[in-house]
Amino acid sequence: MDYGEETEGVTRVAADKYRSILNEETENTQWRHGGPPIFNAVNKLFEEGRTKEWPKGSLGETVQNAVKSWEMELSHKTRLQDFKTINPEKFKLIVNGGEGLSGEETLKLGSYNALLKSSLPEEFKYYKADEETFESSHHEFRSAFPRGFAWEVIAVYSGPPVVTYKFRHWGYFEGPFKGHRPTGEMAQFYGVGIMKVDESMRAEDVEIYYDPAELFGGLLKGPLLCDDSPKEEGKSTETAKASSGCPFSKST
């Protein structure tokens, strides 16, 4: 989810040292926002906040850049046929042991909805992926993390053809999220990935395991924006929210 800046109408960009496939794109590639993305802001966040700097050419660097490139394609391309990082005929994404998603299903849902789908009862869901679109999910997280949501590999346990790695995902909660006021604090979580790849390092099966509560604990700790509304004398906070039409009130 190392999302880049939207580049409406841009057809060529400067080389990206973490996503080299951007330098190999053709004019026939169909981009979600009219042109290839630019990752200057999130690359800066990544370089300033990473906890592990892999040697050039190492397995860690190769895995890290492969996943960054895969996330780039998933967020910014609209046709599976333009993907260079997955085997579209075999690809499956499994999150926390849930139902496997095909390449087309993952592309339709978007990276956030695919990774945040949950089988929990409705009342226990932090984020309801089934009620979000690709566009709305990206808007929520872009708003919450205006500098980007950086991603790094911090350990690699096995190499190809089945790559197992530990990752860290982080950003600064500096914009509103689901009606919660930003805290300005870092929000982060850790997880483990298991990725089966072919001889060209294209992903065939990707399994991701992590605790969503680690992320949402940081995003939901900010007070509701409605809490800033002036309260009428003699009314509780919840009553005041309901009477003012606050969309984030439990009463509505």
Residue 50 sits in a domain whose CATH number is 3.10.450.50
**Cβ atoms < 10 Å from Cβ of 47:** 11
* Domain contains 5: no
* Domain contains 180: yes
| pLDDT tens, residue by residue, 110-147 | 999 999 988 777 877 778 888 999 999 999 999 999 99
Q: Tell me the one-letter amino acid at 212.
A: P
* Domain contains 90: yes
152: containing domain: 20-220
* Domain contains 227: no
* Domain contains 13: no
* Domain contains 78: yes
Share of the chain above pLDDT 70, in %: 84
* Domain contains 232: no
Q: How far is it, in rounded angstroms, from Cα 111 to Cα 20?
A: 20
Q: What is residue 47's three-state secondary structure?
A: helix
| pLDDT tens, residue by residue, 6-52 | 444 444 445 799 999 988 877 889 999 999 999 999 999 999 999 99
Q: Tell me the one-letter amino acid at 75.
A: S
Do 140 and 133 contact (CB within 8 A), yes or no? no
Mean pLDDT throughout 198-214? 95
pLDDT at 229 over 80: no
Q: Please give the pLDDT value at position 2.
A: 67
Q: Please give the pLDDT value at position 82.
A: 95
* Domain contains 228: no
- Phi-psi sector, 237: left (phi>0), alpha (psi -120 to 50), beta: alpha
Q: Please give the pLDDT value at position 246.
A: 55
**Residue 161: cis peptide before it, omega within 30 degrees of 0:** yes
CA dist list (Å): 59 to 6, 16, 155, 156, 163: 30, 19, 10, 8, 10
Number of domains observed in the structure of the chain? 1
